[in-house]
Amino acid sequence: MNKYIFTLLLSSFGLACFAQANISPAKPQSKKTAIMGAKLHLGNGKIIENGYLIFDQGKIIGVGDATLVRLSLTDATVIDGNNKHIYPGFIAPITNLGLTEFESVKATLDFTEIGNINTHIRSIIAYNTDSKVPATLRSNGVLMAQITPQGGTMSGSSSVVQLDAWNWEDAAIRTDDAQHLNWPATPKLRGPGGRNPLSSDALQERTQAQINELEQLFTEAKAYVEIEKPAVVNARLAAMNHLFDGKQKLFITVNAQKDIIAAVNFAKKHGVSPVIVGGDEAYLIIPFLKENNIPVIVKQPHALPNSTDDDVNMPYKNAGVLANAGVTVVVSIDGYWQQRNLPFMAGTVAAWGLDKEKALQTITLNTAKVLGIDKTTGSLEIGKDATFFISAGDALDMKTNKVERAFIQGRDINLDNLHKQLDRKFSEKYEAGKK
């Protein structure tokens, strides 16, 4: 009974929070704007120490070194960028943002479905633009996200959104960018004192049965999409069509080196383009990854090692080891509200062996390339969306990250959020009490 009362109270608190954080999406850009004198972090590994950035109608129309050109800006709004930093909007991959609101309230959880094979599930149509979490992410520079389903063997398709919209149609940058597969992991025997409910042979047999099920699914799906007019519509098979024509990628969550190799070979066999998610042991098979041009989305750099035999600092170093070896690396973090800490994950990667601007790429241009949106975002380049932010300090450092203004497709977005509102509310209360 107490559990249900707690849930009801939490829901009521959530509704009260909603009322406090009523932030409408920004209006379209109405006038050409130029930012002068800022330090530009282009997102492609390059920096312009004293740069200019000009954007109009939501697109970047000028970017360069302010010391080398004379600009006529009589028709533009000019923003002083001296002693400021400009970054491309950060992109959060692999997140259930907007699919869940309160972890303890089941009615707000919409990121998983019943069953193991859910290729027909589209996360985008469940994405809640009224969630109060995205506003907290924007305040740290995270302006886009890949909304991803979870659970089962085939979880469904993800979509990429920008985080300031009225509804999911407005939010969508790219719909159904990838299908998501949780690879059947090779079973591990427990250590001394541990007990396995099944024998080693039984565990191996169960894993192989799951792989055989995937083999059958992909074989049937490939045959199905080649039929011009199927007599019977199969939504699960039809949803896999774009895996085979290259319009979708297959994101495979897998960690052990043996399983990574098996998963990549499986994808190649069926003619689909794989991306490894997790990849705790990817650093052990770097030549294989480079040979097959496989990107790796490193999850949760702030974590414990995968194995008791691993270097205790390996989670911190993993992304740097892979990137310095020539593997395309993306950094992610688990959860939804935790996404506000994404830039600091990249900062950790920079502190453990990766060049600072290359670390920035792991949450900007590299992510855009892996998600298939690099033609319009991910870096500060002419012709791309004006999706970026201005920070008073280093945005990868939690001590200096201070986002002062942010723009999504040229729109000057509101950076207020529930956390800031509560801070003001109680600061005023205690300040009043001192008088």
27: which DSSP letter? P
Label residue 3 exposed, middle or buried (CB < 10 Å: 0-12, 13-18, 19+): exposed
pLDDT number for residue 159: 97
On whether the CB atoms of residues 159 and 124 are closer than 8 A, the answer is: yes
Going by C-alpha positions, the residue among 302, 308, 259 that lies closest to residue 284 is: 259
What burial letters (b/e) apply to 118-136, b meaning 16+ CB within 10 Å?
bbbbbbbebbbbebbbbbb
On whether the CB atoms of residues 363 and 44 are closer than 8 A, the answer is: no
- Distance between first and last Cα of the chain: 43
Label residue 194 exposed, middle or buried (CB < 10 Å: 0-12, 13-18, 19+): exposed
Q: Is the dihedral of CA 228, 230, 235, 236 positive or negative?
A: negative
Catalogue the E-assigned strands of 42-84: 47-56, 59-65, 77-80
pLDDT number for residue 112: 76
Q: What is the dihedral of CA 360, 77, 402, 416, to 10 degrees?
A: -120
Query: For residue 161, what is the enclosing H or E element?
Result: strand 154-162
Q: What is the pLDDT along the chain (435 residues), one digit of tens a residue?
A: 444 444 444 444 444 444 445 678 999 999 999 999 999 999 999 999 999 999 999 999 999 999 887 777 888 899 999 999 999 999 999 999 989 887 767 667 767 788 889 999 999 999 999 999 999 999 999 999 999 999 889 999 999 999 999 999 999 999 999 999 999 987 665 555 555 566 777 778 888 888 999 999 999 999 998 888 888 889 999 999 999 999 999 999 999 999 999 999 999 999 999 999 999 999 999 999 999 999 999 988 888 887 788 889 999 999 999 999 999 999 999 888 899 999 999 999 999 999 999 999 999 999 999 999 999 999 999 999 999 999 999 999 999 999 999 999 999 999 998 888 888 899 888 877 776
CA atoms within 13 A on the CB side of 282: 36
- For 278, list phi and psi in degrees, rounded to 5: 100, -90
* Cβ atoms within 10 Å, residue 170: 12
pLDDT number for residue 198: 66
What burial letters (b/e) apply to 222-234, b meaning 16+ CB within 10 Å?
bebbeeeeeeeee
pLDDT number for residue 195: 57
Q: Is the dihedral of CA 394, 400, 401, 406 positive or negative?
A: negative
On whether the CB atoms of residues 238 and 265 are closer than 8 A, the answer is: no
SS (H, E, C) 239-292: CCHHHHCCCCEEEEEECCHHHHHHHHHHHHHCCCCEEEEECCCHHHHHHHHHHC
pLDDT number for residue 56: 95
Ordered by where they begin, the domains of the chain are 19-89+378-435 (2.30.40.10), 91-132+149-373 (3.20.20.140)
From CA 318, how far away is CA 313, in angstroms rounded? Answer: 9
Going by C-alpha positions, the residue among 254, 259, 306 that lies closest to residue 278 is: 254
pLDDT in tens, 161-176: 999 999 999 999 999 9
On whether the CB atoms of residues 134 and 99 are closer than 8 A, the answer is: no
Which residues sit opposite 107 in a β-bridge?
A: none
Q: Which two tokens stand for residue 212?
A: 């055989």
pLDDT number for residue 190: 55
pLDDT number for residue 192: 53
